[in-house]
Chains A and B, each alone.
Chain A
Amino acid sequence: MKYLCLVCFDSTLPDTLPPGEWAQLVKDSAEYDLELQRRGHFIAAEALMSPANATTVRMRQGKMSATDGPFAELKEQVAGFILIEAADLNEAMRIGANIPLARIGCVEVRPVMSVQG
């Protein structure tokens, strides 16, 4: 099954962590992606720019409205994702929990809808 691991954390953390810790997390994250590739779980992964750079758009009666920022004001925002292939939720949860950023934030593990056939 495919699972999307949504990596969330407080976007002020990179600036408030002790020096070196953030750099280490970034390094660990890159290594973890490679490890998932080696083990055949990796499909895709990206890190996102800060929520301050987000714009939320809606289409209503054919007209677009746009607002500054993410659609919900939460302390912990989506900061990146890893799309994985896993045998079941147990394996997906293990992979999600070992994402280095889960140590400072959280990871939402969501199954990807599959079309039967």
Chain B
Amino acid sequence: MNEAGRAIEAVYRAEAPRVLATLIRLLGGFDRAEEALHDAWLAALASWPERGIPANPRAWLVSAGRFKAIDRIRRDARFDRAADQLAQQIELEALPDDSDIPAIADDQLRLVFTCCHPALSPDAQVALTLREICGLTTEEIAAAYLTSPVTIAQRIVRAKAKIRDAGIPYVVPGPDELAERIEAVLQVIYLVFNEGYLASSGASALRTDLCAEAIRLARLLGTLIEEPEVTGLLALMLLHDARRAARVVGGEIVPLDEQDRALWNQAQVAEGQALVRQVLGGRFSLYSIQAAIAAAHGRAGSDWPLIVTFYDMLMRVDPSPIVELNRAVAIAMRDGAEAGLKLVDGLESALGDYRLWHAARADLLRRLDRAAEARSAYEAALALTTQPAEQRFIARRLRELTTPG
């Protein structure tokens, strides 16, 4: 492909998700909109190389897609009055022009809420969001989730069928259900992020892309809607993602207190911390508090008393044994391993099968020089761990315990 061809394709790839969002509203469904987008792309390929890329490619593609869709509806059902009425109705819909930025943003927001609808399974929500909002291909999504393109394609097809058949609307939810529905959208974004962040094995480059997509989605959502939790989640993801280079070294997980903090992406840490300061003024909620905890780990060190305070808040907002475990670890850092171990031991009945409970316990026992107990705790953690990077870390700890010094 020559340079002009590459430029055309780059413009198309950048605009396609937004064009699709608007076409879905104008044409009333995924199938027709995707067909129209494809037709618009063919029209662009026929026209742009000769006449150049139009000044407003997005408006051009929406207009071409709509025109082709009307054409297709008329052709497919020449004697069908209902289809003819539909074509007329589409013709009457106002086209967003360049000055109509809010309309285009609204179309994208509608699509976000449709893709993240609670009537769809979480797997389907994730696949649909990556496909329709982020514009990833089925192959890219499959590679990121270590599954086959056929599986992802089926998931998307089924989700679209349910959207159409069950009457899932293409709307931004009303004020009475908005908070609940935003939570569902944030959950999808965080799922995408964690899939990229926690899986440090396999196709690592592609999985990093998932973190970037999640951050991009949160940024997009932040421009579409004003909601502190969106900012909180964005900050949380930026702060975690900033540690990427220091977190896995030589295929081995490095615990936070041993990470080389100079390797953290300082610009991203600064952005995350600034966002945390911005949301801390308002009401505290789930993602904001977690972001505040992440922001308390700075290049120079970690503010453990503050972190314990935030965990206390998190326990009030979203109590769970896992939050309690994290709080216990923070208390160990503030008050010493003995105090932390007492709290960790108290969680055995709730977390006895959880690998990170054993790992946290092992670490505290190690720090207290109770080597034999530490070893058996590390062994229990290792038996429950499936991630290679974590396995390598625990194996190293076990080696260090056997060779005293």
Contacts and interface: CB of A to CB of B under 8 A. Distances in A.
Nearest to B165: A111
Contacts of B167: 1, 3, 86, 88-89, 92, 111
Most buried by A among B166, B168, B169, B177: B166
A79 interface: no
Interface residues of A, number: 11
Interface in A58-109: 86-90, 92-94
Contact of A111 (B117, B166, B169): B166
A87 B169 contact: yes
Contacts of A94: 177
A93 B169 CA distance: 12
B119 interface: yes
Interface residues of B, number: 10
Contacts of A93: 119
Interface in A1-39: 1, 3
Interface in B145-194: 165-169, 171, 173, 177
Contacts of B177: 90, 94
B226 to A, nearest CB: 22
A93 B173 CA distance: 12
A11 B119 CA distance: 26
B113 to A, nearest CB: 9
Contacts of A1: 167
B43 to A, nearest CB: 30
Contacts of B169: 87-90
Contacts of A90: 168-169, 171, 173, 177
A86 B167 CA distance: 10
A57 to B, nearest CB: 29
Contacts of B171: 88, 90
Nearest to A117: B82
A94 B176 CA distance: 11
A92 B169 CA distance: 11
Given A89-B117, A89-B119, A90-B168, 5 more contacts: A3-B167, A86-B167, A90-B169, A92-B167, A94-B177
Interface of B: 117, 119, 165-169, 171, 173, 177
Interface of A: 1, 3, 86-90, 92-94, 111
The 5 A-B pairs of least Cβ separation, nearest first, read A88-B169, A88-B167, A89-B167, A1-B167, A111-B166
22 contacts: A1-B167, A3-B167, A86-B167, A87-B169, A88-B167, A88-B168, A89-B117, A89-B119, A89-B166, A89-B167, A89-B168, A89-B169, A90-B169, A90-B171, A90-B173, A90-B177, A92-B167, A93-B119, A94-B177, A111-B165, A111-B166, A111-B167
